[in-house]
């Protein structure tokens, strides 16, 4: 799983945040690829909302395990 951090991101979260469409896309991608690398763009980060917040919320909403967070990137898996 450590090598997942070296691959390009599979999904990006932008200024729109994690709406239903983004969650549906992540679920679809997670079925096709495991683990899944997700990058949080700078436009999505604001005061009190960082990559750790997104990692926690996404992993809860898609029922996946959070593998790790590095900078603005996180990896989830089943």
The arithmetic mean of pLDDT across residues 16-32, rounded, is 94
Distance CA 74, CA 66 (A): 8
Long-range CB contacts (within 8 A, 24+) of 49-52: 49/17
pLDDT tops 70 at residue 2: no
Number of domains in the chain: 1
In terms of residue numbers, what domain contains 38? 2-77
pLDDT in tens, 8-23: 899 999 999 999 999 9
Query: What is the CATH classification number for the domain harbouring 25?
Result: 3.30.110.60
pLDDT tops 80 at residue 41: yes
Per-residue confidence (pLDDT) for residue 1, from 0 to 100: 52
Per-residue confidence (pLDDT) for residue 58, from 0 to 100: 96
């Amino acid at each position: 799983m450590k090598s997942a951090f070296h691959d390009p991101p599979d999904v990006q979260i932008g200024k729109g945040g994690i709406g239903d469409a983004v969650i549906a896309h992540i679920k679809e991608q997670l079925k096709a690829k495991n683990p899944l690398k997700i990058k949080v763009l700078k436009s999505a980060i604001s005061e009190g909302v960082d990559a750790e917040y997104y990692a926690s919320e996404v992993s809860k909403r898609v029922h996946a395990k959070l593998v790790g967070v590095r900078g603005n990137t996180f990896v989830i898996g089943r």
